[in-house]
Amino acid sequence: MNASNSFILLLRVRNRIFGVPFGYGYSVLDRSKIEPSFGLKVTLNVIDPQRIETLDTRNIDLVTKQRRTHVTVGSTVSELGLNQNIDWVRFVSGKPVSKDFATKLSGSDPLSITTDVYLGDLGSLSKDLLQKIHLDEYKKQFKLRSRSD
């Protein structure tokens, strides 16, 4: 007999709610409640720009193209073939600058983070993530322009 347990741990942090899914718990999350680009911004602010592993892009043109580029060895944005004039980054995955924070991050709207943390420290980790979403490191590290630039 095989059994699989799935659940979501909800944490209130600074008047926000973090959902931490275990197993297939993510499948019951209402995706409309997930902050747009939260995982993407955190990931871009934390990962090493020399160690990107996966990049999903979409262009806006008469014929829309979606592309997933995955490399076996961490690479730079230019090595992954991103055209910053027409491609929109939709998902990114890579290794962080500091292994003390995590060993891998992946993000689009949701964030997936691989790290060693005690259950009681998830609140502190969530506070760190809230700080990292407001950084602008990705603009310097990846030489990306925001829509307002």
Mean pLDDT for 98-120 is 92
For helices 122-133 and 38-46, angle between their N-to-C axes, nearest 10 degrees: 90
149 domain-assigned: no
At 144 the pLDDT is 54
Q: 117: domain range?
A: 35-141
Q: b or e along 48-79 (b: 16 or more beta carbons within 10 Å of the residue's beta carbon)? A: ebebbbebbbeeeeeeeeeeeeeeeebbebee
69 domain-assigned: yes
9 domain-assigned: no
Mean pLDDT for 61-68 is 88
84 domain-assigned: yes
Count structural domains, the chain: 1
- 147, pLDDT greater than 70: no
Amino acid (1-letter code) at residue 19: G
